[in-house]
A and B are shown apart, each in its own frame.
Chain A
Amino acid sequence: MVPENILTVEKAEPCVWGVSSGKGGVGKTFISTSIALTLSKLGHNVVLVDFDLTGANSHTALGVDPSHMSLRHYFESQKSLNEIVLNTPYPHLQYVQGFWDSWSPVQLSNADIDRFWNELKKINADYIVIDLGTGSYQHHLDLFKRCDEKFLITNPEPTSIEKTYRFIESFICSTLKDNSTADAFGKLMYVLRDHRQRILPQPFSFKKYLLNNDGFVFDHFEQLSKNPIRMIVNSVRSPQQAELGHSMRSVCYKYYDLSLEYCCAIDFDNAVWQALRNREPVLIAQPFTPLSGQFLSLCKHMIDPGELRAVV
C-alpha cells in the first residue's frame, strides 16, 4: 500500500520565463514560442502564456486556430486559469490564449496581476513561458519583474537597441518605485536626469546610490545582479551583429554599473517568415537547422549551465 503522503506530495512550482522587448517586431513571439517548443521537445511540460496586451498572436506562431477561450475569460472571472489552458498539437506543450478580442480595452488592476501570478504558479507544469508585450506598460513590467528568468529580446537595428536601453531604465525604475519611499524615488529621478545631462560631480552607479541613500529596499536590486536580465539578439546576419550583445552589456555596465547577461544570438533565417506564412512553427517545419540548434543550446544552458560547458 502506498503511503498517502507520497500521493499528496506537493509538486514544485513551475519555473516562469518571461520574454519581453523594448521595441515591437523584434521577434518576441517567435522566440517565446520557439523556447516553449524546445523545452517541450526536451520532455518538460510547458505552458505558453500569451500576455501581450497590445494584441495576442502566439497562436499564429504556434499554428493553431485562435480559441474563444482567452485571458479575458479569466480576468472577467468567468473561468479559472487552469480551465483556459488549451492543448496544442505538440506533445508536452499547452498554451493560454491572450487577449484576442479587442473590442473593449483591457483594464487590469494590481490586484488582478497578483491573483493572476498566484494562480500561474499553481499551474501543473515544469516551465511557463510568458510572451509579454512590447515596451514599458506597467503590467508588463510588473509581471516581468516577478519572472524567474527574464529574457529581453532585441535585434541589431539602432532603433531597437535604443529602445532596449529605455526599457531597461524604465524596468529598473519601476522595480525601485515599489521598493522605495516617494521622497527617495523623486530624488533618484533628479539624479538620473543630471546623469543624463552629465552634470553629476561623481560617476553614477545604481548600486552605490541605493546603498548610500535611505529609503530604498536593496534586496530586489541585489537579486537582479545575481540573476540578471538575459539579453537575446535576434535576426543576426553577421558575426559583427552578434557581438552587439557584448557591447550592450558593456554599455550598461559602464553607464549604470548594472550587470546584464548576454545570453545568445539567434541567426536571421528566411525559413522563419516562410514557415509563419504556412502557419507552422519553424522548429516543427525544419527541426534540424542551425536555428533550432541555437534554441536547443539556449534552453540546455538555462536548465543546466554545466551540461554544455566546453572541456578545456
Chain B
Amino acid sequence: MPQLPTHNYYEVLELPTNAAQHEVTTAYDRAKRTYSGENPAIYTVFTDVEARELLGLIEEAYSILGNKTLRSIYDQRLLSNSYTLEDLSYGSILGASKQYYPEPKQQQQKPSYQKDASLEKEILERKEWDGAFIKRVREYKGHSVERLSDKTKINPFYIQAIEKMEMKSLPAPVFVRGYIVQIAKELSLNERKVADSYMSLFKKTP
C-alpha cells in the first residue's frame, strides 16, 4: 500500500505549511483530479487500489486543512514539535475542535439596593418625572452613570444631560424619548409613564 514518508497533511497535498487558504483548495482540486478517475498520469505507477487509498488520504487532509478551525489546531500541534502521530490523526483533531467552546458571557446581575418603602411608594405615585428625580431613582437603585451607559448603550454625556435637562446638549426630542425609554426599562420603571411625563416637562424647559 502507498504509505507516505510521514503522515503530514501538508505533504499529502504537497503544500508549504504557510500556504494560503485558496492554495489549499487549488492543491486539493488538483490532487483529486490526479488520483480519481482515469488519469493517464497515474497509470503504470499506482494501481487502482492504491489510487483509491491516496484519494482517501487526500480527502482527509483537505477536511482538516480546508477548515480554518481544524487547520489552526493542526498547525499548533505540528509546530509544537512534541506531538505524537496520534495527536495529529484526523479523529484527534476533530475531537479537539469539539472541545473548544467560546467562553459563556457572564450575566451581569442588577446591583442590589436597600429597599426604601417611602421612596418606593413615591416612585409608584410620582406623576412628574424630571431629570433630578430620574437621577435620584438611578442612585437609589445603585446604578452608576457608566454602568447605565454600558447597559443602554447611551453616551454617558447624554445621560448626564438628561438628568440635568440640558436641551442644548441633547439631540432631537425623538431621540431623547428613546433614551428615556431605555433608561426607564433598565431601572425597571413604567417606561411609558416616565417618557410621557419627562417629554412634556422637557418641552417646557427654556
- What is A's interface to B at a CB cutoff of 8 Å? 156-158, 161-162, 165, 198, 202-203, 205, 208, 243-244, 246-248, 250-251, 253-255, 257
Majority SS at the chain A contact face: helix
Majority SS at the chain B contact face: loop
Beyond A203-B2, A208-B5, A251-B34, list 10 extra A-B contacts (CB 8 Å). A156-B40, A165-B44, A203-B3, A246-B34, A247-B39, A247-B41, A250-B30, A250-B41, A251-B45, A251-B46
Interface string of B47-62 (1 = CB under 8 A from A): 0000000100000000
Tally chain B residues at the interface, Cβ within 8 Å.
Answer: 19
Cβ–Cβ contact B43 & A250, under 8 A: no
CB of A40 to closest CB in B, whole Å: 34
Chain A residues near B40 (CB-CB < 8 A): 156-158, 161, 244
Q: A255 to B4, alpha carbons, bound, how many Å?
A: 8
CB of A232 to closest CB in B, whole Å: 15
Q: A156-B40, A243-B30 in contact; A253/B45 too (CB < 8 A)?
A: no
CB of A9 to closest CB in B, whole Å: 41
Chain B residues near A251 (CB-CB < 8 A): 34, 41-42, 45-46
Cβ–Cβ contact A250 & B5, under 8 A: no
- What is B's interface to A at a CB cutoff of 8 Å? 1-5, 14, 30-31, 33-34, 39-46, 54
Cβ–Cβ contact B43 & A158, under 8 A: yes
Chain A residues near B3 (CB-CB < 8 A): 202-203
Chain A residues near B2 (CB-CB < 8 A): 203, 254-255
Cβ–Cβ contact A254 & B41, under 8 A: no
Q: List 9 A-B contacts (CB under 8 A).
A: A161-B43, A162-B44, A244-B39, A247-B30, A250-B41, A251-B41, A251-B45, A251-B46, A254-B4
Of chain B, the residue at the smallest CB distance from A246 is B30
Q: A10 to B62, alpha carbons, bound, how many Å?
A: 53
Chain A residues near B54 (CB-CB < 8 A): 254
Chain B residues near A253 (CB-CB < 8 A): 14
Chain B residues near A250 (CB-CB < 8 A): 14, 30-31, 34, 41
Of chain B, the residue at the smallest CB distance from A157 is B40
Q: A203 to B33, alpha carbons, bound, how many Å?
A: 23
Q: A248 to B14, alpha carbons, bound, how many Å?
A: 13
Q: A88 to B30, alpha carbons, bound, how many Å?
A: 43
Most buried by A among B3, B40, B44: B40
Q: A253 to B41, alpha carbons, bound, how many Å?
A: 13
CB of B161 to closest CB in A, whole Å: 51
Q: Which 10 A-B pairs have the closest CB atoms?
A: A247-B41, A247-B34, A203-B3, A158-B40, A248-B41, A246-B30, A162-B44, A205-B5, A250-B34, A251-B45
